[in-house]
Amino acid sequence: MTREQIAAEFQRRFEGRPRFFQAPGRVNLIGEHTDYNEGFVMPFAIDRHTIVAASPRNDLKIHVHAYDLAETAVIDLADGPRLRRGTWLDYAEGSIRSVADRFNFKPSGADMLITSSVPIGAGLSSSAAIEIAVGYATLALNDIRFDQQELAFAGQMAEHEYVGTRSGIMDQFASVFGRRGTAMLLDCRSLERTYVGVTDEQTTIAVIDTKVKHNLASSEYNTRRAECEEAVKILREHHPGIGSLRDVTAEMLSRFANFLPQNVMKRSRHIVSENKRTLAAADAFMQEDFESAGKLMYESHASLRDDYEVSCDELDFLVEVASDLTGVFGSRMTGGGFGGCTVSLLRKDSVDELRDTSVKLYATKFGFEPDFYIFESADGASEILA
What residues are paired with 111 via a beta bridge? 55, 63
Q: Would the CA dihedral through 266, 270, 276, 281 be positive or negative? A: positive
The DSSP call for residue 335 is S
Please count the other Cβ atoms lying within 10 Å of the Cβ belonging to residue 143: 9
Beta strands in the chain (DSSP E): 19-28, 40-41, 43-56, 61-66, 71-76, 110-116, 183-187, 193-196, 203-213, 328-334, 339-347, 371-374, 382-384
CA 186 to chain centre: 13
Residue 171 designated active-site = yes
Report whether 297 contacts 27 (CB < 8 A): no
Q: Which of 35, 90, 171, 307 is catalytic?
A: 171
- 313-327 b/e with 16+ CB inside 10 Å = b? ebbbbbbebbeeeee
- Please list, in sequence order, all residues whose beta carbon lies within 8 angstroms of the beta carbon of residue 89, skipping any fewer than 6 positions away: 64, 73, 75, 82
CA 224 to chain centre: 17
**Spacing of C-alpha 189 from chain mean position:** 17
Which residues are CB-contacts of 278 (< 8 A; sequence separation ≥ 6)? 30, 31, 34, 39, 40, 41, 42, 185
Q: How far apart are CA 380 and CA 386, in angstroms?
A: 18
Q: How far apart are CA 33 and CA 15, in angstroms?
A: 43
- Does residue 183 contact residue 44 with C-beta atoms inside 8 Å? yes
Query: Would you name the residues annotated as active-site residues?
Result: 171
